[in-house]
């Protein structure tokens, strides 16, 4: 898992509590009263992608679907649109999980941007099918912003595991 970057040693497996806490914080960030949602990265999608890539046996489609339902209810949108998108996102992340960590930071971010954009497109298709107007191409700014945050998110989320590892070597 840690083959990707040379500086990393073998990481401790993440605990379920870390996963839950990170998802709760991501939900909180999503629920902040943003001015224009189209320009803000989807933090929940980003954190889900991270865990599906790193811990595909701990976080999978079931978790993604449940969190998606929470986002739907919290945002007051059609029930199931984010659940559907996050399920697809989780599937793509698990599919890419074996190769993604071999890439450098830039290439990883590019892959993440693509996956987030696919999920965003799925939401767009669902809403267009439900009869809503097209909200403008600005909605694709959000996946790009998410991809820019990817290196920071992966650094932050591996922090708890890394600290444990350092204690072990001492």
Partner 1 sequence: MEHTPPPFFKRGPAPLVRLFFFASLSLALLVLDARFRYAEGLRGVLALAAYPLQRAATAPVELLRTVGDYFSTQAQLFEENAALRAKNLALSQAAQRFETAEADAAQLRRLIGAAEKLEVKARPAEILYAGRDPYSHKVFVNLGERQGVKPGSPVTDEAGVIGQVTRVHPLVSEVTLVTDQDHVVPIQVVRNGLRAIAFGGGASGMLELRFTAGNAEIQNGDRLVTSGIDGTYPAGLPVATVVRIERDAENSFARVICRPAGGVDRGRFVLVLSDETARPPRPEEAQSGKDRRSDKARRARVKEKDA
Residues of this chain that interact with partner 1 (CB under 8 A) are: 24, 27-34, 36-38, 57, 60-62, 64-65, 68-70, 72-81, 83-84, 87-88, 91, 94-95, 126-127, 130, 132-133, 135-136, 138-139
Pick the closer one to partner 1 by CB: 5 or 66: 66
| 146/86 Cα distance (integer angstroms) | 14
Collapse the DSSP code of 103 into the 3-class scheme (helix H, G, I; strand E, B; otherwise coil) and give the result.
Answer: coil
- The nearest distance, CB 108 to partner 1, in angstroms, is 20
CA distance 44 to 75: 13
Q: Distance between CA atoms of 115 and 6, rounded to whole angstroms?
A: 25
How big is the CA angle at 86 (ends 114 and 16), to the nearest 5 degrees? Answer: 110
Query: Closer CB to partner 1, residue 80 or residue 151?
Result: 80
Nearer to partner 1 among residue 27 and residue 101 (C-beta): 27
**Residue nearer to partner 1 on the CB measure, 64 or 109:** 64
């Amino acid at each position: 898992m840690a083959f990707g970057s040379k500086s990393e040693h073998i990481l401790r497996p993440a605990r379920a509590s870390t996963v839950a806490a990170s998802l709760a914080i991501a939900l909180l960030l999503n629920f902040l009263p943003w001015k224009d949602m189209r320009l803000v990265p989807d933090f929940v999608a980003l954190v889900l992608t991270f865990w599906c890539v790193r811990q595909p046996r701990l976080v999978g489609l079931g978790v993604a679907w449940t969190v998606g339902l929470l986002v739907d209810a919290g945002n007051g949108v059609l029930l199931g649109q984010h659940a559907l998108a996050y399920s697809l996102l989780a599937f793509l992340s698990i599919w890419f999980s074996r190769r993604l960590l071999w890439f450098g930071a830039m290439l990883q971010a590019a892959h993440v941007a693509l996956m987030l954009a696919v999920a965003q497109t799925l939401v767009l298709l669902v809403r267009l099918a439900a009869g809503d107007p097209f909200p403008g191409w600005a909605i694709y700014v959000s996946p790009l912003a998410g991809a820019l945050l990817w290196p920071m998110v992966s650094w932050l989320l591996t922090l708890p595991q890394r600290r444990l590892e350092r204690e072990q070597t001492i």
